[in-house]
């Protein structure tokens, strides 16, 4: 369905092709420059009668670029663009496949367009859960084996999918069935603002680019203001992260989203020098040797209290942060079916995560601010 090609060559041909056609097919660019500032995984270019969305990194080390032409109903696209996936906007019915897609849909005021989702229990948004309870959003099974029968019945305008690698048989089968799929790679972004900027991707699908820009600009400005406040700190707080799962201690690598946010909040994350964006898998002994005197501990979110932690592993109480009750979890808020609001909303609202971390690390800098995602374990 997709074809990798030289975009500049394609659009030069497109412009030449339509010179002899009517105005309804004119493609001379208005502002063809990319409107995306921080995200590296996609771009948006606006032409007179269509918008080109290009997704470059839908998964790590992707070797292929995916291009989508968004256009209003009735616009005839030139032959040079016929091999791209064409999507009529604004879309009226969407299927999303990741909880990180939900906040953008909600912030844009388009919850009523969501008609299907895999594993509905994972969704925390109150507005979306209300529509689920009303039977207006259908269960689609698992992301790896989406229910084809239900999808064909729903006939969504677009399915926003994602992949872990190049092997996506479910998405391939959906496209062969005539359904339109657009890949989203928000989870693969390396920076907090880069992740949040994917709201512009949804803005393009809803023909609400100006609104998406306005929402993101506010998030960006709040984030930058908090960074300036955090920069007043002269002494950084040492930070331990993660905990043990199935015998191994998992914690973020130094280039990861979580590590970068701790750094922005002027915390001294003890594994900040490690390379990569995934997770480290270490032994208890290795972590204890380096972090037993860490001043602050941010857990993975699997515990609700210090008692729960000690019941899981009695050696946790050997850490100074545990002894001083300086342990925080990001599972402050959950949906009524148990989904974590942090996993759903935090990638879209790094401004709130950063404020939380500054409040935890340097409470004197934000005296009146109340934690949004995090909670101190008692």
Per-residue pLDDT tens digits for 270-324: 999 999 988 999 999 999 999 999 999 999 888 999 999 999 999 999 999 999 9
Q: Mean per-residue pLDDT for 114-129?
A: 96
Asked whether the predicted pLDDT for residue 127 surpasses 90, the reply is: yes
Cβ neighbours of residue 189 under 8 Å, at least 6 residues apart? 39, 40, 41, 195, 197, 198, 257
Token pair for 131: 């529509």
Q: How many Cβ atoms are within 10 Å of 255's Cβ, its own excluded?
A: 15
Cβ atoms 125, 103 nearer than 8 A:
yes
Contacts 24+ apart (CB under 8 A), 289-292: 291/238, 291/240, 291/319, 292/318, 292/319, 292/320
Q: Mean per-residue pLDDT for 336-350?
A: 91
Report the percentage of the chain scoring pLDDT > 90: 75
Residue 358: CA count within 13 A, CB half-sphere: 27
Q: For tokens 């942090």, name the residue.
A: 342
The structural domains of the chain, ordered by start, are: 7-219 (3.40.50.1980), 231-376 (3.40.50.1980)
Q: Mean per-residue pLDDT for 130-151?
A: 93
pTM > 0.85: yes or no: yes
Question: For residues 131 and 292, what is the distance between their CA atoms, to the nearest angstrom?
Answer: 47
Per-residue pLDDT tens digits for 212-269: 999 999 999 999 999 999 999 989 999 999 999 999 999 999 999 999 999 999 999 9
């Amino acid at each position: 369905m997709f074809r990798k090609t030289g975009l500049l060559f394609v659009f030069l041909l497109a412009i030449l092709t339509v010179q002899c056609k009517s105005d309804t097919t004119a493609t001379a660019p208005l502002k063809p420059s990319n409107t995306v500032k921080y995200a590296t995984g996609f771009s948006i270019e606006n032409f007179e009668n269509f918008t080109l969305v290009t997704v470059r990194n839908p998964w790590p080390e992707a070797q292929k670029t995916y291009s989508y032409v968004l256009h209003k109903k009735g616009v005839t696209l030139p032959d040079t663009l016929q091999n791209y996936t064409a999507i009529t906007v604004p879309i009226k019915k969407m299927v999303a496949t990741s909880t990180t897609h939900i906040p953008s849909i909600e912030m844009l005021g388009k919850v009523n367009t969501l008609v299907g989702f895999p594993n509905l229990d994972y969704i925390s948004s109150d507005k979306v859960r209300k529509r689920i309870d009303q039977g207006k959003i259908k269960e689609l099974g698992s992301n790896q084996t989406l229910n084809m029968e239900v999808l064909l019945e729903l006939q969504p305008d677009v399915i926003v999918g994602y992949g872990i690698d190049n092997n996506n048989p479910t998405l391939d089968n959906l496209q062969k069935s005539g359904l339109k799929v657009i890949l989203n790679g928000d989870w693969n972004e390396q920076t907090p603002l880069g992740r949040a900027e994917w709201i512009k991707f949804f803005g393009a699908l809803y023909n609400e680019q100006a609104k998406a820009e306005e929402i993101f600009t506010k998030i960006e400005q709040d984030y930058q203001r908090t960074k300036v406040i955090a920069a007043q700190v002269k002494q950084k707080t040492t930070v331990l992260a993660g905990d043990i799962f199935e015998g191994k201690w998992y914690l973020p690598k130094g280039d990861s989203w979580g590590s970068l946010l701790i750094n922005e909040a002027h915390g001294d994350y003890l594994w900040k020098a490690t390379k990569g964006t995934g997770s480290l898998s270490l032994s208890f002994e290795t972590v204890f040797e380096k972090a037993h005197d860490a001043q602050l501990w941010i857990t993975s979110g699997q515990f609700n209290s210090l008692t729960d932690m000690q019941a899981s592993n009695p050696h946790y109480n050997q850490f100074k942060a545990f002894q001083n009750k300086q342990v925080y979890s990001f599972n402050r808020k959950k949906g009524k079916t148990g989904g974590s609001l942090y996993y759903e909303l935090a990638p879209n609202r790094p401004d709130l995560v950063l404020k939380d971390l500054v409040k935890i690390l340097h409470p004197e800098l934000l005296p009146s601010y109340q934690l949004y995602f995090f909670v101190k374990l008692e």
